[in-house]
Amino acid sequence: MSNQKKRNIQIEAFKHKVLGDPKYADKTWKILEHAIHEIYNHNASGLSFEELYRNAYNMVLHKFGEKLYTGLVTTMTSHLKEISKSIEAAQGGPFLEELNRKWNDQNKALQMIRDILMYMDRTYIPSSRKTPVHELGLNLWRDNIIHSNKIQTRLLNTLLELVHRERTGEVIDRGLMRNIIKMLMDLGASIYEEGFEIPFLEVSADFYRVESQEFIECCDCGNYLKKAERRLNEEMDRLGHYLDARSEKKITNVVEKEMIENHMLRLIHMENSGLASMLLDDKYEDLRRMYTLFRRVPDGLQKIREVMTSHIRDTGKQLVTDPERLKDPVEFVQRLLDKKDKYDNIINLAFNNDKTFQNALNSSFECFINLNPRSPEFISLFVDDKLRKGLKGAIEEDVEIILDKVMMLFRYLQEKDVFEKYYKQHLAKRLLSGKTVSDDAERSLIVKLKTECGYQFTSKLEGMFTDMKTSQDTMQVFYASNPELGDGPALTVQVLTTGSWPTQPNVTCNLPAEMSTVCEKFRAYYLGTHTGRRLSWQTNMGTADIKAVFGKGQKHELNVSTYQMCVLMLFNNASRLTYKEIEQATEIPASDLKRCLQSMACVKGKNVLRKDPMSKDIGEDDTLFVNDKFTSKFYKVKIGTVVAQKESEPEKQETRQRVEEDRKPQIEAAIVRIMKSRKQLDHNNIITEVTKQLQSRFLANPTEIKKRIESLIERDFLERDNIDRKLYRYLA
């Protein structure tokens, strides 16, 4: 201490009033109480913050904190009571405004008081665990104003009434609403909920219940949905403006429930405007609205899906079983495609590409397409038509689009092997008559089928293409090595591998002399180069181009079938022939002969022959002769092309039988495969496994499977267990 400056460290007496004064606390409090009064009366400008702060500070410092606090409570309470009276006194409209105004005042005053009493807040309150000033203020407000009997219900009713007025279209003071609601929220979440939100939700539910009832009586589905949407948007708007965000989910739930959920079924099934008619008329906007609205309620979308599925099934069933439609297969398939497109569009545009809806669509289609057993045949005919002429001149993309769509329909088929059979037939005819529009398109479809069903499905089809190509090459070499034949009739042979092409019955036909020599030469040549093979001429599938000169010298080139050529060549040596003579000479089977004669004698514009008598049908005793008066605009005349047609009844039966026959070995192969790996299996399981394996080709019939099992047992591939008659064992 020696080095310090000479300075007396004095502890001076406190400059302010001494502790001893008992009235000190009261005096100080009086000052503060007065100040609070002034604050509440908006008279604070004359006050000195510092002085008040100092006073409060001193009171707390000198352990009068409690007095200060209780004094504060009393003073505020009495003020609030007065305020409450004045609010109650306000009538009607100004009620809310008065409340709002007083609330704002209170907040302001509260903050001022808190600032002055900051020291108490900091020190006294934590130690005595009393409520801080700000919170105290809110609580007092709540107890005296909000919970006061007169005000509470009146406040709630006024608020609800305002909301109701707005709902019915009036304009209300939204700012005021916002402030009042905010006040409730500031006072505590439970105040907001109990004092306002819950009654609000109840009232809203009632309101919407009534309104929805009204609407549904008088509006159709589309309009009702529009109204519902509008109300939803309104509520969202209201929420944004003056309700608390926490209420969002609750109020939207209320609206959804009352307006949508309760009336869902009725809306969907509404006559003339419900879901079914919307689907029929492609009302995308209405459908989209329905989708978005129903998505909000549980099960909403499911209901839509259900009704849509049954609708599609019903209309689809109508489509495939309508006898009118069945007359034109191309038209039939086109309609199917159109229908698929329509619903794809609907799902895309209105249902947000929802996968579940897509699935529902697929299953419905699968269901009704297979209701008509001729669907596979018709689809093949459709493709045939397109590949012959429909796609003529179309650009590659369009071709791909159409083929893809056809593939989609193909996938829905359960009896894919039937399709395969028909497709082979039609393809054969196309290839042999050279009628296909685009080789690329053909190949592209084969590739698609291969991707879908595997190599096995398309191997034969590809074989057909290979044969065509090979034949071309063969012909070139043939003519190159036999140049002397260049003067004779030009022969083009297509050599078809028997397994790949549809089986044909063996036919007889006597070729005219000029032809048979060339044909024999070819046969010799071919068998010379390919040993161990056998050739048989398929005269029912060939075509010929003949030059003819008619009575008046008109020259024409006729494109005819091989049979027709044989017949016509006969007339080189005779001018009149009876049916019987023709039949004998050509040895063509009767029905075919009749058909080819018919197309040459009875069809207008192609009647190169004339018949006596002039009846429509060919009778056994008819006589035919060349029609010298034949005329045609064109030089080249086409007669009797072999066109793929919808099969007649007997043909259809025959094809179906063949398909059934083909299925038998496939079933057997599947059974053997399964048993080989499982060694033993019971009856029901075999049926399930076999069906599953063959699913991609056709739907296996359990009775048929049973028969096959019996047959395999007879041939010692399987045996039955002695004890359990339903158990089978594999015999190696």
Partner 1 sequence: MTKEDTVKLISAEGFEFVIDKEAAMVSQTIHNMLTSPGSFAETEHGEVTFPEISTTILEKICQYFYWHLQFASGKETEFTIEPELTLELMMAANYLHT
The site for partner 1 (CB under 8 A) is made up of 7, 9, 11, 15-16, 39, 44-50, 53-54, 57, 108-109, 111-112, 115, 118-119, 122
Q: Which is nearer to partner 1, 105 or 244 (CB)?
A: 105
Q: Which C-beta is closer to partner 1: that of 14 or that of 634?
A: 14
* Least distance between partner 1 and beta carbon 42 (Å): 9
Distances (CA, A) of 139 to 76, 183, 271, 300, 418: 11, 12, 58, 45, 84
For residues 188-227, one letter each, b for 16 or more C-beta atoms within 10 angstroms of the residue's C-beta and e for the rest, the string is: beebbbebbbebbbebbbebbeebbeebbeebbbbebbeb
User: Least Å distance between CB 9 and partner 1?
Assistant: 5
Residue 440 corresponds to which tokens in the numbers above? 């690329």
CB of 202 to partner 1, least distance (A): 38
CB of 137 to partner 1, least distance (A): 13
Give me the least distance between CB of 265 and partner 1, in Å please: 58
Tokens 């006073």 -> residue: 55
- State in angstroms the smallest separation of the CB of 3 from partner 1: 13
Question: CA–CA separation, 639 vs 458, rounded Å?
Answer: 33
Closest contact distance (angstroms) between CB of 106 and partner 1 is 12
Contact present, 144 and 151 (Cβ < 8 Å): no
* Least distance CB 51 / partner 1 (angstroms): 8
In eight-state DSSP terms, residue 391 is: T
With respect to partner 1, which residue has the nearer C-beta, 50 or 649? 50
Closest CA to 564 of 596, 542, 539: 596
Q: Which is nearer to partner 1, 13 or 218 (CB)?
A: 13
Alpha carbon dihedral 19, 23, 24, 25, in 10-degree steps, equals: 110
Cβ proximity to partner 1: between 48 and 575 the closer is 48
Nearer to partner 1, 15 or 249 (CB): 15
User: Which amino acid would we find at residue 225?
Assistant: L
Which of residues 43 and 696 has its CB atom nearest to partner 1 in the complex?
Answer: 43
| Segment holding 681, helix H or strand E | strand 680-682
Q: Which is nearer to partner 1, 179 or 436 (CB)?
A: 179
Q: What DSSP assignment string belongs to 423-491? A: HHHHHHHHHHTT--S-HHHHHHHHHHHHHHH-HHHHHHHHHHHHHHHHHHHHHHHHHHH-GGGGGS---
Nearer to partner 1, 110 or 156 (CB): 110
Identity of the residue, 53 or 571, whose beta carbon is nearer to partner 1 in the bound complex: 53
- Does a cis peptide bond (omega within 30 degrees of 0) precede residue 126? no
Q: Which two tokens stand for residue 107?
A: 């907040």
* Spatial separation of the C-alpha atoms in residues 449 and 531, rounded to whole Å: 34
Instruction: Evaluate the CA torsion angle 220, 222, 227, 231 in order and state its sign.
Output: positive
End-to-end C-alpha distance for the chain, whole angstroms: 119
- State in angstroms the smallest separation of the CB of 132 from partner 1: 14
CB of 49 to partner 1, least distance (A): 4
- Inter-CA distances, 74 with 39, 67, 140, Å: 15, 11, 10
